[in-house]
Structure formats: structure tokens, C-alpha cells
């Protein structure tokens, strides 16, 4: 890299150069959240965001390793950056996050991608500003601590002024589901002080946020391990009282910890949306036991019934894995049966992916890829049909939509969501509708994942 230009910038009193950064986050909402905080730290070094990869002076990737396919995609992306670095040796490439946090992983990656300037895992984000500065001075930096020190947010809030924002209420996970690498790359579960969460939510709402998501790997266990006097249901109720918020969501709820108290709070709080992401993972009790999920399908379905009894019109979405080691055709059929009975409005479906260091990777009876593919196709076919039937039930009806902006696929359309988390698109009306407005849309057509309509008169 060009040491002179970076050091020039770092010298106080020099003219600040207009440095551009391109940021890409892979994986879950926590990874997106991290990338926003890292962006704020990089902004202190004079970088501003660009959407154009070719213009960037800094490329910052926050990575995911929850499945092999995610990791492969990211490694492909890092490989593509080699040519950019060759054409522009000044370019700074930073790769951080879950993928880097895996033990020993960086040893392999560094050999494959010597063009990366800074590698750091999730446990070292508090050092990010220093690490970036060292990389800007021309050092090749690798920082992957085996233990996590972080208990609080590692950067100032970077989402002010946005319509939609997310706030982490807790980090890490102690559940050790047999397939999952998250506890290893995000550390032990720890909850943020409720006062800190509330202060952040208040600041966001004051800055214009109307649509807020509370984040945690298992929000239902918020505060318990840390002995707080406030549990997640209490926290949600307090967040609901913050002035200015229109809609509140939370992910992820673990079925084993979904309390009646939380269900009551969902029903009682006017801004908490009628939607719950409640991952099933598998529909066979034998497989759920092997996954270490801590509930049976009967218990899961009882929780959904309790939720529907108390929160009228609530929608439920799910994550489902096919081909966990030892899953038989009969086990898989049970997954289809639960999907049929519960009626999810949306489900994220995955083939089991071996993650090194997890129990699932060591289990016998790994399922061949062709069987996993075939099961995934059948599951998706069923879920797509269920999703379509659900959305078709809206055709001819009016729905309330919070306008989020222009549709990604069609600039002539606006998009927003219902309180049940259904995406709605409609033509941009003659009189423009501001982002953040609540509008009524008359639904004319339905696709599996989207409602299409027009603004009501
Ligand atoms: N904490 C959340 C999300 C964890 S990761 C939860 O408990 O639901 C998001 C989803 O990825 C999981 O719900 C699971 O369905 C899927 N997943 C995790 N590890 C996986 C693996 N090894 N193979 C396939 N899917 C996996
Ligand atoms: Fe992974 Fe299970 Fe923790 Fe979710 S609850 S992050 S699936 S270990």
C-alpha cells in the first residue's frame, strides 16, 4: 500500500483527504449491526461510505461462518479483491467478524489471501480503531484473541437519523445447539444493562427512528444469567414506552424460553408488532434432542397456540434445517408435518452444514448432499405454497404499511411492511409519500414473499 498517502492523512494538520470506504456485511443482523459500528470508527479516520467498489480506498467486510456456503461466498469475494489490490496498491482491505474468529482459520486464510491488510475477529472489535490505524501505516495486522472481553457496545451509535435501527440487548450464546458455531465465534452470553439499552433506544427515537429491532441470539434469556432485576419482557415494555417509536420487533426467540409474560407484553404493548420469529429447526423430537434444542414439537406447538390465543393475528416465521446427522425420511416427514400444521408466513430453510468444532460435525450418519438437496426442495415447495396462500388471503383487502423507501427491484415502486412483517410494494403515487409514513394500501396481487397493491384514496 502507499504508505505516504496513509501517513499523510494520519499526520495532524495535513489536509484531510477524501477517503472512500466500501462496506459489505455478510450474515445475520448482528453482523450488519457490527458493520455499522465499524463504519463509525472508520469515519473518525476520514473515510466516507461509497457504493462503488472500484472507487474505494478501504474495503471492509464483516463475515459470517454459520454455514459453509456463507464462508465459501465470502472467500470468493475476498479472492475477487486481489485484482483490485493489484491495480491499486494503496487500497486497504479489512476482513473481520465471525469467519475470522474461528480457531486457526486465519492461518489458512492469510495464505490464500495475502492481499488482505487487516484480519480481526469479533472478540477484538474494541481494538478496531488502533488496528485500522496500524494497517493504514502499512502494517499487515492479524488480531484474533481467544477470549472475548467485550460487554458493552464498542462504538458510538452510528444509526442516528435512520428510520429503521437495531439495538443489541445481549451478545453471544450459551445454548450450544449441536449444529451451531455461534457460541464459539460470538462468545458466552452476556446482557447489556437495561439503562444502556434504553438510553440508546431513546437517542435513536429522538433522532428519527420509528422502526426498531432488538437483537440477541436468544433474547428470551436476556438478563437471567447476569441476575438483572429486568427480564426481556420488562425491557420490551420499557422500550415500548419510548416516545416516537412506531414499530418494535425482536429476534431471536428460543422456543424453550418463550414465556407467557413475554406473550402478554406483546399483546399489551401497542408498538410491539404482531410477529414472532420462532425457529423450529426440526420437526422430529429425536432430531431436536440430538440438536440439543431443549423442547419437543408438542411443546413448540403449544407455545405457538399460546401466542395465537393471546396476540390476535400474530404471524410466525421460522428457521428450519434439513439433513441433520441421522435424520431419516420419517424424521423429515415430521418436519413437513409441523410446517403444515403451524402455518409459517415465512421460513428460512437450510441444509445442515458441518461446522468444525461443533458436536454436529462429529456425529455419525451424516446425510449425503443429494438427500439434503432433495429434502430442502420439498420443504421449500411446501413453505412457498403456504406463504403464497397466506399472502393471497390479503388480495382485495386494505393493509397498514410503514413506508420504508423505494423498492430495490423497481424504482417506480415504494416498499414497506405490515405489522405482521409482510413486505408490500405499490407504485409511487403522484403526491409523494414520505419515508416513515403510515399508509393504507389496497392489495391487488400476491406473490410468495410480497404483496402488491396501490395506495388507498
Ligand atoms: N440465534 C438464532 C440464530 C442462529 S444462526 C437462533 O437460535 O435461532 C441462524 C440460523 O442458521 C439458525 O436458526 C439455523 O437454522 C441456521 N444454522 C445454524 N447453524 C447451521 C448449520 N451448521 N447448518 C445449517 N444451518 C445452520
Ligand atoms: Fe446457535 Fe442455538 Fe445459540 Fe441460536 S440458540 S445462536 S442456533 S447455539
pLDDT digits (tens, 9 = 90+) for 59-117: 999 999 999 999 999 999 999 999 999 999 999 999 999 999 998 899 999 999 999 99
Per-residue pLDDT, 16 = 53
Mean pLDDT of the 252-258 span: 97
Quick one: which ligand is closest to 253's CA? 1
Residue 17 pLDDT grade (very low, low, confident, very high; cuts 50, 70, 90) = low
Mean pLDDT of the 136-158 span: 90
Which of 31, 179, 184, 254 for a ligand 2 pocket mutation test, highest count of atoms within 8 Å of Cβ? Answer: 254
CA distances from 238 to 82, 192, 232, 312 (A): 48, 15, 10, 22
Residue 8 pLDDT grade (very low, low, confident, very high; cuts 50, 70, 90) = very low
- Ligand 1 pocket residue status of 222, Cβ below 6 Å: no
Strand partners, 316: 276
Q: Which residue has the higher pLDDT, 5 or 252?
A: 252
Closest CA to 6 of 135, 143, 119, 95: 135
How high does pLDDT run on average in the chain?
A: 94
Quick one: which ligand is closest to 280's CA? 1
Per-residue pLDDT, 13 = 47
- Ligand 2 pocket residue status of 218, Cβ below 6 Å: yes
Per-residue pLDDT, 430 = 85
Per-residue pLDDT, 431 = 85
**Going by CA atoms, what residue is nearest to atom 5 of ligand 1?**
66
Which of 97, 213, 321 for a ligand 1 pocket mutation test, highest count of atoms within 8 Å of Cβ? Answer: 321
Quick one: which ligand is closest to 172's CA? 2
- Ligand 1 pocket residue status of 217, Cβ below 6 Å: yes
CA distances from 317 to 27, 63, 86, 343 (A): 18, 24, 45, 9
CA–CA distance, 96 with 411 (Å, rounded to integer): 33
CA–CA distance, 9 with 45 (Å, rounded to integer): 8
**Going by CA atoms, what residue is nearest to atom 5 of ligand 2?**
175
Per-residue pLDDT, 9 = 47
Which of 66, 189, 300 for a ligand 1 pocket mutation test, highest count of atoms within 8 Å of Cβ? Answer: 66
Quick one: 412 exposed, middle or buried, by C-beta within 10 A (0-12, 13-18, 19+)?
A: exposed
pLDDT at 293 over 90: yes
Ligand 1 geometric centre to CA of 71 (Å): 14
CA–CA distance, 202 with 199 (Å, rounded to integer): 5
pTM: 0.94
Quick one: which ligand is closest to 173's CA? 2
Per-residue pLDDT, 327 = 98
Dihedral in degrees, nearest 10, Cα atoms 384, 389, 394, 395: 100
Query: What's the pLDDT tens digit per position in 379-411?
Result: 999 999 999 999 999 999 999 999 999 998 888
pLDDT at 172 over 80: yes
Per-residue pLDDT, 103 = 87
| CB contact at 8 A, 98 and 66 | yes
Nearest ligand 1 atom to the CA of 360 is 22
Which of 182, 290, 352 for a ligand 2 pocket mutation test, highest count of atoms within 8 Å of Cβ? Answer: 182
Supply the angle between the helices 128-136 and 3-10 in degrees, to the nearest 10: 130
Q: What is the SS3 assignment for the chain?
A: CCHHHHHHHHCCCCCCCCEEEEEEECCCHHHHHHHHHHHHHHHCCCEEECCCHHHCCEEEEEECCCCHHHHHHHHHHHHHHHHHHHHCCCCEEEEEEHHHHCCCHHHHHHHHCCCCCEEECHHHHHHHHHHHHHHHCCCCEEECCCCCCCCCCCCCCCCCCCCEEEEECEECCCCCCCCCCHHHHHCCCEECCHHHHHHHHHHHHHCCCCEEEEECCCHHHCCCCCCCCCCHHHHHHHHHCCCCCCEEEEECCCHHHCCHHHHHHHHHCCCECCEEECCCECCCHHHHHHHCCCCCHHHHHHHHHHHHHHCCCCEEEEEEEECCCCCCHHHHHHHHHHHHHHCCCEEEEEECCCCCCCHHHHCCCCCCHHHHHHHHHHHHHHHHHHHHHHHHCCCCCEEEEEEEEECCCCCCEEEEECCCCCEEEEECCCCCCCCCCEEEEEEEEECCCEEEEEECC
**Going by CA atoms, what residue is nearest to atom 1 of ligand 2?**
180
Q: Please state, for a pLDDT cut of 90, what percent of the chain lies above it.
A: 90
Query: What's the pLDDT tens digit per position in 119-132?
Result: 999 999 999 999 99
What residues contact 378, with CB distance under 8 A and at least 6 apart? 332, 336
Residue 1 pLDDT grade (very low, low, confident, very high; cuts 50, 70, 90) = very low
pLDDT at 12 over 60: no
| CB contact at 8 A, 451 and 424 | yes
**Going by CA atoms, what residue is nearest to atom 19 of ligand 1?**
180
Specify the length of the chain in residues: 457
Mean pLDDT of the 409-433 span: 93
pLDDT at 3 over 50: no
- Ligand 1 pocket residue status of 315, Cβ below 6 Å: no
Per-residue pLDDT, 140 = 96
CA–CA distance, 273 with 431 (Å, rounded to integer): 28
Amino acid at each position: 500500500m502507499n504508505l505516504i498517502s496513509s501517513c499523510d492523512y494520519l499526520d495532524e494538520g495535513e489536509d484531510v483527504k477524501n477517503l472512500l470506504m466500501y462496506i459489505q456485511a455478510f450474515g445475520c443482523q448482528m453482523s450488519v449491526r457490527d458493520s455499522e459500528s465499524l463504519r463509525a470508527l472508520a469515519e473518525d479516520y476520514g473515510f466516507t461510505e461509497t457504493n462503488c467498489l472500484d472507487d474505494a480506498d478501504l474495503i471492509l467486510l464483516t463475515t459470517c461462518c454459520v454455514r459453509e456456503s456463507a464462508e465459501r461466498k465470502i472467500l470468493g469475494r475476498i479472492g475477487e479483491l486481489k485484482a483490485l489490490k493489484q491495480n491499486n496498491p494503496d487500497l486497504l482491505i479489512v476482513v473481520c467478524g465471525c469467519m475470522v474468529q474461528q480457531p486457526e482459520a486465519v492461518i489458512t486464510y492469510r495464505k490464500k489471501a495475502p492481499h488482505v491488510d487487516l484480519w480481526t475477529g469479533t472478540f477484538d472489535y474494541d481494538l478496531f480503531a488502533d488496528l485500522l490505524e496500524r494497517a493504514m501505516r502499512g502494517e499487515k495486522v492479524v488480531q484474533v484473541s481467544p477470549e472475548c472481553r467485550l460487554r458493552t457496545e464498542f462504538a458510538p451509535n452510528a444509526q442516528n437519523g435512520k428510520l429503521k435501527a437495531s439495538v443489541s440487548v445481549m451478545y453471544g450464546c450459551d445454548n450450544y445447539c449441536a449444529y451451531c458455531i455461534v457460541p464459539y465465534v460470538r462468545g458466552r452470553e452476556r446482557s447489556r444493562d437495561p439503562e444502556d439499552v434504553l438510553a440508546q433506544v431513546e437517542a435513536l427515537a429522538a433522532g428519527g427512528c420509528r422502526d426498531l429491532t432488538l437483537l440477541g441470539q436468544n433474547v428470551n434469556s436476556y438478563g437471567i444469567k447476569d441476575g438483572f432485576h429486568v427480564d426481556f419482557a420488562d425491557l420490551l415494555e420499557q422500550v415500548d414506552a419510548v416516545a416516537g417509536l412506531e414499530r418494535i420487533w425482536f429476534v431471536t426467540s428460543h422456543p424453550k424460553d418463550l414465556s407467557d409474560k413475554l406473550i402478554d407484553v406483546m399483546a399489551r404493548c401497542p408498538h410491539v408488532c404482531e410477529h414472532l420469529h420462532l425457529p423450529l429447526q426440526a420437526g422430529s423430537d429425536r432430531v431436536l434432542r440430538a440438536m440439543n434444542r431443549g423442547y419437543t414439537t408438542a411443546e413448540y406447538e403449544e407455545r405457538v397456540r399460546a401466542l395465537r390465543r393471546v396476540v390476535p393475528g400474530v404471524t410466525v416465521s421460522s428457521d428450519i434445517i434439513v439433513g441433520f446427522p441421522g435424520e431419516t425420511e420419517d424424521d423429515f416427514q415430521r418436519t413437513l408435518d409441523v410446517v403444515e400444521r403451524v402455518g409459517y408466513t415465512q421460513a428460512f430453510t437450510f441444509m445442515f452444514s458441518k461446522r468444525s468444532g461443533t458436536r454436529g460435525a462429529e456425529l455419525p450418519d451424516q446425510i449425503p448432499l443429494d438427500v439434503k438437496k432433495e429434502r430442502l426442495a420439498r420443504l421449500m415447495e411446501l413453505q412457498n405454497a403456504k406463504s403464497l396462500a397466506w399472502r393471497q388471503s390479503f388480495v382485495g383487502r386494505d393493509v397498514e404499511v410503514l413506508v420504508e423507501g423505494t423498492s430495490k427491484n423497481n424504482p417506480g415502486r415504494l416498499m414497506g411492511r405490515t405489522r405482521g412483517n409482510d413486505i408490500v410494494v405499490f407504485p409511487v403515487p403522484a403526491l409523494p409519500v414520505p419515508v416513515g409514513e403510515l399508509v393504507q394500501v389496497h392489495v391487488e396481487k400476491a406473490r410468495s414473499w410480497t404483496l402488491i397493491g396501490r395506495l388507498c384514496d
